[in-house]
Each structure stands twice: as C-alpha cells, then as structure tokens.
Amino acid sequence: MTSQPPPPNPSGTPHERGRVDERLALAVRDNAEWCERMCRAHGLPGAFGERVWTNPRRTPLYYPDAVTLSPQATAADVLGAIDTGSGASVKDSFALLDLPGFEVLFDAQWIHREAPEPGELPGRDDGELVWEAVADAGGLAEWERACFSGEVTGLFPPALLPEVTVLAGRAAGDVVCGAVLNPGEHAVGVSNVFAVPGHDLGAAWAGVLTQAAALFPGLPLVGYESDPAAAEKHGFRTIGPLRIWLRP
C-alpha cells in the first residue's frame, strides 16, 4: 500500500451489484483524499490500496480509520489494516459491510452537484456576508471556534491551509458560517458546512456555491450529509448511502 491514491476510475468499478456511478466514485475518492490530508496534517499519514484507504494509527477526532473505495472491499480488507481497539471507526462508503464488534454510529447520503455557474459578486452573499479564504493560523483558530461552538480546538492544523480552502463567511467582522473545499482533479469536496446560531445555514450553502464557482470553475461538487435537505435546496442530489461504524 502507498500514501498516494491510485488514479480515479470515473467509468465506475464493476461488481456483482452493477457498476459504480461516476458521481459516486468521485465523491468517495475525494472524501478519502480529504481524510488523508487531515491525517497528514497531524503527522499521521494513511495508505491507499485498491479497495480501501486505511490508517494504522488512531486518526483525529471525527475522522475514520478506514474508508472503503470499492463495493468489493471486505471486512478483512478493513480490519486487517487498522487498530481495531475501542474508538476505531470505519466509513463504509457503500453501506455493504458487516463489521463484527462494531456498531453503526450513523447512516448518511453521498451528495453531488454539477459545477455551479460563477456569481456576479464572488466575495459576497446577499450584501450581508463577506466571504474569505482563511489564510493563517489565527484565522483558522477563529474559524474552528465558530464551526464547533468553541468545543473543539486544534483539530484543523495550519498545515492544511496549502492543500484545502477553508471558507469563512463574516457578518459585522465575525465568522458566522463557513465550509471546507477539498479540490481534486475531477471534483471539489464540500464538508464542514456550518452556520452559528442565529444565522441561516442556507446562506452558508449559497456561499459555498458562489465561492466554488469562483475558485474552482467547471468542477462538480461532492460530499456527504446525514441530513441532505439543506444541500438539496441548493442543487445537490443524493447519489448513494454510506454508513459509519464505531468500535465501542
């Protein structure tokens, strides 16, 4: 196994239940690469195989120890390459695995949206929010406090900033919403979309579209949501289930 992902297969991977939709393949690949980037930023690089991305050491909070890349991945592919002790987690990208000793933490849906059209004012939203890409450690710490209501610190190291775009939407100078864009060759991953209490999550999603169109024109957007309703209001479509497993 290597720390670099094998090339994506946009045409899909044949398996006994049919072929993997191109959009789903892009979403799964991008998410695994995002997990790898987060782990590398913490000094914990993982490894890509043909059917699964894994990390032999415990990954950062909220990030899985394994992500399946193919519906042909087996429990042995996953469990043989990670620390399966208490706290281990697995992103079952096709909701197909049966993992002995693990419990289902939650189910979610992969989402996809065709490339948004560039907006007239890429840096603003409805005249109230001013959008920016976080550029330094201080701005990242401020963004993290807003995203996690001050309950999580140090999860997003500054080492991430050269690799991903951390978006901050400001109102009256304060970070009130934001997201992360993880750019790839064929798609841009969207994650950590949030709005602080008293602000509209829909405005955050609208800002994501505007900023993605300006920064990564022509690329579709992918991600996953446990509740995709807000994303669907902004043109995303669900494209398949996933499941998160946790070892108690």
Per-residue model confidence as pLDDT tens digits over 72-88 = 999 999 999 999 999 99
Q: How many domains, in total, are found in the chain?
A: 2
Do both 108 and 125 map to the same domain? no
Name the more confident of 16 and 63: 63
The reply to whether 99 and 122 lie within a common domain is no
Quick one: which of 86, 114, 150 has its CA closest to 234? 114
**pTM of this structure:** 0.90
pLDDT computed for residue 116 by the predictor: 85
Residue with the larger pLDDT of the pair 8 and 169: 169
- State the chain's mean pLDDT as an integer: 91
Q: Span 109-121, mean pLDDT? A: 80
Q: What CATH number does the domain containing 212 carry?
A: 3.40.630.30
Are residues 124 and 72 located together in one domain of the fold? no
Same domain (yes/no): 215, 119: yes
Residue 240 in any domain: the answer is no
Res. 26: pLDDT tops 60: yes
Q: How far apart are CA 214 and CA 120, in angstroms?
A: 10
Judgement on whether residues 40 and 104 belong to the same structural domain of the protein: yes
Across 31-54, b (16+ Cβ under 10 Å) vs e yields bbbbbbbbbbbbebebbbbeebbb
pLDDT of residue 33: 98
One domain for residues 214 and 121: yes
CB 28 within 8 A of CB 66: no
**Position of tokens 């894994």?**
54
Give, as one character, the DSSP assignment of residue 3: S
Q: How far is CA 118 from CA 121, 203, 219, 234, in A?
A: 9, 16, 11, 14
Domain that holds residue 174: 115-219
Confidence of residue 9 (pLDDT cuts 50, 70, 90): very low
Closest CA to 143 of 161, 172, 173, 167: 167
What per-residue confidence (pLDDT) applies to 117? 76
Specify whether 214 is located in the same domain as 120.
yes
Q: What CA–CA distance (Å, rounded) separates 242 from 237?
A: 15
Whether residue 158 is predicted with pLDDT greater than 60 in this model: the reply is yes
